[in-house]
Structure formats: C-alpha cells, structure tokens
Structure 1
Amino acid sequence: MNTISTRRSTPRRLGLGLVGGIGALALAACTGTGDAGSGENGSSAASSTVTLVTHDSFNVSEDVLAAFEEESGLTVRQIAPGDGGALVNQLVLTKDSPLGDVVFGIDNSFATRAIDEGVLEPYTPAGLADSAAQYAIGDTGALTPIDFGDVCINIDHAWFGNTGVTEPETLDDLTKPEYKDLLVVTNPATSSPGLSFLLATIGAYGEDGWVDYWAKLKANGVKVVDGWSDAYSVDFSGAEGNGPRPIVLSYATSPAFTVSEDGTSTRTGALLDTCFRQVEYAGVLAGAQNPEGAKKLVDFLVSDAFQADVADSMYMYPANTDIALPESWVEFAPLSPKPFEVAPADITAHRDEWIKAWTSTVIG
C-alpha cells in the first residue's frame, strides 16, 4: 500500500512554516526510512521502497500512483519537511545522511542552492519533454523540471463587490491607502512563494527601488506569515470566506479552485501584473539508498500519466506543454503574459542578502 497522500490539493499551496531538523528526522523515523537498509530483510526493503522528500502539498491521484507502483514493483513513501524553502534547508542539513531517495518541489528560487550544496546526483530522464528544456538550470542535469506556475497576488472579488472598494490591479496599487491592512503575504525566508514574490518586486523595481517598495507595504499594514496555508486558508477572506484580508499572495491557478458550482464564475482572481514564474523540479538525492528506484520515480514524474495529473492534483501547469489542461483553466487560470524576471545567476549571488534586507525592512 502506498503512503503518498491522495487528498485533493487546496489551490496552491506550499504549506506550513519551517520545520526544524529534529522534527524532520523524527518524521523520517516515523515513516520507516531511517532503517530501510538494516535488519534481516533490509536489502530487499531498500530495493522495493523509494522515498520521496517533498513539500507539504505534493499530490497525485491514487490510481495514477497505483499504476506506477504495480508496473515498477516499488512502494513509494513520502516525507514532507515543510514548504519549498524548508525543504531545501532540510536537504542541506541532512546531506550526509539523506532523508530519502528523490526530491520533488525544489523551485527556481532555491534551485542553485541545492545544486551548489551537492545534495543531488545528475540524472536526466529519457522521457523528458522538449518543452521542459527552457526551464533547465545550469548544465549539471541535477534537476528535472516537472511543473510551473505563476506566483501572483490574488483578490476576493466578493469582498470588493460587497464593500464597493475598487479592486487593485498592480503592485503600486497595493501601497495605496484604500488597501491598508488588506494584504497578507508569506515570509521569503521560510516560504518559496514568499521568495518568488520578493523576486517579483525586485524584477519590478530593481536594486534601487524594491526595498523602498516593501517599506511602503509595511507602512500600509501588510501582514506576513510563515507559510502559504496560513495566508490563504486562515487570513484570506476568499478561500473559506472566514479570513479578514481580501488580498493574498497565492498562484495564478488558485481562482480555478474557487469556481462556482455551475462553472460560470469564480470568487477569486489573480492579478496577472504582479507575478513571478515558479518552476518546480525533481532530482535524485546524493547518497540515496535506492538510486535505481529513485531514477524510476523521476521517470514517472515526467511521464504522460503523471504530467496529465498535475493540473487537477496540484494546480500547476505540467512542464510537458503537450498535455491537455482542464477547460476551466482557459478562463480562470491563465498564466501571466509577462511575469517579472530575475536572472538565476543574480538569485544565486544575492538571495541571502536580499532576504536579510527584506527582513530588516519588514520584520525589523
């Protein structure tokens, strides 16, 4: 029996705050990965089980996973040490005794750190779609693009309609007095969408302007939480309808999750002029107990079966662009026509100093 979560994802995502090393290692022990290679049947267990280290909201349909397990003879186990940022932190902290065999969920804002720290083994699956090549990072072949999506500001249409306040459209709008105390975002030090949004503001305002922009957001009452699930499910008014803030950092695909029962409208919307494109990667972990099983699992993640499951299960776009998307996405989950960009080399060179400057400005 597989141990991957088969619940339906909430719209995006990348959930809770930073999980400490002790908690992650305890989780590894609970899932049985810590002694997979020991004991009387340790060798057999290691070869028939492959452990996936991922973020909290990795999801795959039960039948799709079951077909892979039957065909491969593998049992897939999952360890989820937290958000995308926490995920990379844990991989680095445990690289001498890796938590598993495969990682999924490293994104382009943290990818170079994972590569530079040597937590990955080079592997390029034979079935990788040509459309994924544009998202390759470096020339090591250590990370395989699996899916992508735009991190964007989302709004609660119903809240704005009921209050009569004009909906914001741009990053500049968020600093205006009429939107005071209405925005909730995530911390770039603990959240990969938070870091993606920080990069969006750097791409928009440049080295000379982004700190001043965040100072304006702080003065306008922006709330910062550690992880996406707190922002979207607790503070945002548009998800469950219970939060006090009608503007949230989420994804361009999130409005597809709040479509009405008749499919004609959605409660929420993404501001497509506020976005940064996030790409998620998979890779074989250096020191994996089951490297051959790890390669098979990466092959599965780029297969047509898994790629066709990405949109409905994780509300991201599959890296294989030949895969058909849900019809509702054309209207309710379009990508930004021009997301803000920051060169990967600049992210590598300045990520830590940018996060420190953001923390000093916003958190104090």
Structure 2
Amino acid sequence: MKKSVLLLALAGLSLSALAAELRVMTHSSFSLPKDRIAEFEKQNGVKLSIVKGGDAGEMLNKLILTRANPIADVVYGIDNTLIAKASAAGILAPTSSKLGRTEKDAQLPGAVAVDYGYVTLNYDKTWFAKAELPLPATLDDLAKPAYKDLLVVQNPATSSTGLAFLLATIADRGEDGAFKWWEKVRDNGLKVSKGWSEAYYTDFSRNGGSRPIVVSYATSPAAEVFYSKEKISESPTANLLLKGGVFLQVEGVALLTGGKEPQAAQAFVDFLRSEGVQTGLQTKMWMYPAVAGTAIDPVFAHAQKPAKFSNPSLAAMNSKTAAWVSRWNRLVVKQAN
C-alpha cells in the first residue's frame, strides 16, 4: 500500500473523499445507469457533481449567464438547435473525442455528438378512439375546428423540443408560410408549455391533461411500453409523422470555457461515447446512439423511426434562429395573452 493511501486509511478517510469534483451540467432528462457513473468515477479518480439545469434551452441560458464564473466544467445536452447560440456566447472550449468522429458530429460544430432522436407529434390512442375523431393527416388539419384545443407545444424560447418543432415547420413551409400556420393553430386553441416535462406530464391527456396531441419524440411510445406498470405489447401512444412536423435532433457534449477540470472533462466526453453508455442511454434518455454499430434495444421496435425529417440548414439556424423565436413569441404568446 502506498504511503499516502496508508495515511488516509489511518485517518479514516477514503480516496473518494479527496477526489476532484467534475461538475457536469445537463438538461433535466439526463440519466445513465448508476454502475456506469460509478465506474467512470473510479477509473478517473473524480466525483461527478451532476447539475440539472432544466430543459436544454433553460440550461444553456444558465451557462451563458454564469460564463464569467462557470458553474460547470462540461455540458451534456447542447443540441443542433442550440449549438450556434452556445458558440456565439463563447462558453464552449475546443472539444474532441479519441474515439473518432461520427456522422452526427457534422450537426454539432464545436461539440461531440452523443445521441440523436426525432422530435415529432405524439397522440393519445385512447382519447382519439373514444372521441371517434380521425387522426389529422396534415399539419393544416390541426388548424381546423374539429381539432380545436387539442394541441400542446413547448415554447421555443425555453425548450429545445419546442424549438425543434418550430424549425421543422419553417424548413418545410418557409418562414412566412410557417408563421401563417402558427397563427391559425394559435387561433384554434393552441396551448404553450414552458418545457417538455410540463407538456408531456401535465398537459398531455395520456397523463391526465386535456390535450391528446403533444410535441414529443418518436421514441416516446417505446418509453410508454418500457415504463408501463402492467406488461403490455402495444404502446398507448403513437406518432404523427406529418410532413413538416419531424425534426432530427442531435445532442452532444462539450467542455466549458474556464472549467476547472479540463482533463477529467475530456475523459467524460469519451465516456459518453463508450459502448456501455451508448447502449445504456437508450432506455434512460430514449435517444438513438450516435456511435454507429451500437446494438439497439428491442423495445425500440415501438419507436417508429421517421423516413423523412425537416431541418433548416445549419447556416440558416445559425443566423436566423433568434429572429424566428422572437417572431414566434410575438405572434403566438403575446397575441394569445
């Protein structure tokens, strides 16, 4: 036994008590198997301090407001809707991965891709069956009287999910065409929630709310099967993969400028790309693994993978997202109040 370790033992202290603290900022949906976390801490001699900053948009705003005195060393959950804002704010330090690049890294300049998924509309099967209402076949149907007061979305100013859905409508219809549609659904009883959790767990009829259509993820039906208290073979929810209503979201990890533990932070980047994490995140965060060749969990058979999606170019998102969000809030939130 090394002398330093012996002295610690004699003093009644553990090595973990003196381990460096690696501060990790994440969005509220971050979750990994506990054994993986423990393994990382042991291998790298650090103690993870995971701070959940709310929805990804809210999380990013907190990092920007505290950039003069960073509250974290590394951030997970920056996605392709927010990467430009994060880079422009100067909060990201150069980040790479020893495991090489993946196809999805191109969507996150300045960060390393960890996972990806598809933002789309989910619906409550039971509600529609009881109402004997046909499913909407297009986004335009959602502006018709038959679908009044049925849709809940997240505010794109505070939610990456809401922002992704807004961007999908713009990519499909063009800016003016998209905002004409938003005006129509606003007048048809659209509800706006702060973030995904509020929309899905409070407003969605599947969870006791009044709205049977919610902006969520193509993997959400699989999660419903996985977490069901009773063993079920079919999800109670399903996707509405409507043209102009599907967005490819890529989430990543990056070191933060001014972080106190850059070496441990870089190790955390590689940890998130490791096989165990890429496998484990699927039924924890309900995203697809960014590393090609990773085995996909069987429950994802309930997660209908879209054949098409609508994303603006990275250049357009970089230069126009702030203006689009501002216009959306003027049109949808302020006009509705």
TM over 0.5: yes
1:352 to 2:299 alignment: no
* Partner of residue 178, structure 1: 146
- Work out the CA distance in 1 between the residues paired with 2:169 and 2:316: 14
- Work out the CA distance in 2 between the residues paired with 1:191 and 1:262: 32
How many residues end up aligned between the 2 structures? Answer: 314
1:256 to 2:226 alignment: no
Query: AA paired with 1:231?
Result: A
- Work out the CA distance in 2 between the residues paired with 1:199 and 1:208: 12
CA contact (8 A) 1:60 1:313 kept: yes
- Work out the CA distance in 2 between the residues paired with 1:213 and 1:132: 30
From 114, 128, 150, the counterpart of 2:118:
150
* Partner of residue 204, structure 1: 172
1:190 to 2:149 alignment: no
Query: AA paired with 1:109?
Result: T
* Partner of residue 55, structure 1: 27
Tell me by how many angstroms 1:168 deviates.
Answer: 1.7
* Partner of residue 119, structure 1: 91
Query: AA paired with 1:279?
Result: V
CA contact (8 A) 1:129 1:302 kept: no
Query: AA paired with 2:237?
Result: T
Q: Could you state the TM-score of these two structures normalised by the residue count of structure 2?
A: 0.89
- Work out the CA distance in 2 between the residues paired with 1:223 and 1:81: 24
* Partner of residue 92, structure 1: 64
Query: AA paired with 2:299?
Result: S
* Partner of residue 340, structure 1: 310
* Partner of residue 325, structure 1: 296
Tell me by how many angstroms 1:128 deviates.
Answer: 3.7
CA contact (8 A) 2:22 2:49 kept: yes
* Partner of residue 235, structure 1: 203
Q: Could you state the TM-score of these two structures normalised by the residue count of structure 1?
A: 0.83
* Partner of residue 48, structure 2: 76
1:290 to 2:256 alignment: no
Query: AA paired with 2:102?
Result: D
Query: AA paired with 1:325?
Result: I
Tell me by how many angstroms 1:46 deviates.
Answer: 8.8
CA contact (8 A) 2:117 2:249 kept: yes
Q: 1:171 to 1:333 in 2, by over 3 A?
A: same
CA contact (8 A) 2:152 2:192 kept: yes
Q: 1:335 to 1:92 in 2, by over 3 A?
A: same
- Work out the CA distance in 2 between the residues paired with 1:147 and 1:130: 10
Query: AA paired with 1:283?
Result: A
* Cα RMSD after superposing both structures: 1.6
Matches of residues 8-19 of structure 1 in structure 2 within 5 Å? Answer: none
* Partner of residue 6, structure 2: none
Task: Provide the secondary structure at the position in 1 that maps to 2:324.
Answer: helix
- Work out the CA distance in 2 between the residues paired with 1:133 and 1:109: 14
- Work out the CA distance in 1 between the residues paired with 2:219 and 2:305: 8
CA contact (8 A) 1:46 1:290 kept: no
CA contact (8 A) 2:102 2:290 kept: no
User: Over residues 11-38 of structure 1, what are the superposed CA-to-partner deviations in whole Å (9 max), with x where a residue is unaligned?
Assistant: xxxxxxxxxxxxxxxxxxxxxxxxxxxx
* Partner of residue 12, structure 2: none
CA contact (8 A) 1:272 1:335 kept: no
Query: AA paired with 1:251?
Result: Y
Query: AA paired with 2:57?
Result: G
User: Over residues 257-277 of structure 1, what are the superposed CA-to-partner deviations in whole Å (9 max), with x where a residue is unaligned?
Assistant: 222644421100111222111
Tell me by how many angstroms 1:165 deviates.
Answer: 0.7
Q: What residue ranges of structure 1 are gaps of 5+ in the alignment?
A: 1-43
* Partner of residue 3, structure 2: none
Tell me by how many angstroms 1:45 deviates.
Answer: 8.0
* Partner of residue 210, structure 2: 244
Greater mean deviation of Cα atoms: 74-83 or 180-189: 74-83
CA contact (8 A) 2:80 2:108 kept: no
Which of structures 1 and 2 has the bigger CA Rg?
A: 2
Task: Provide the secondary structure at the position in 2 that maps to 1:76.
Answer: strand
Tell me by how many angstroms 1:135 deviates.
Answer: 3.0
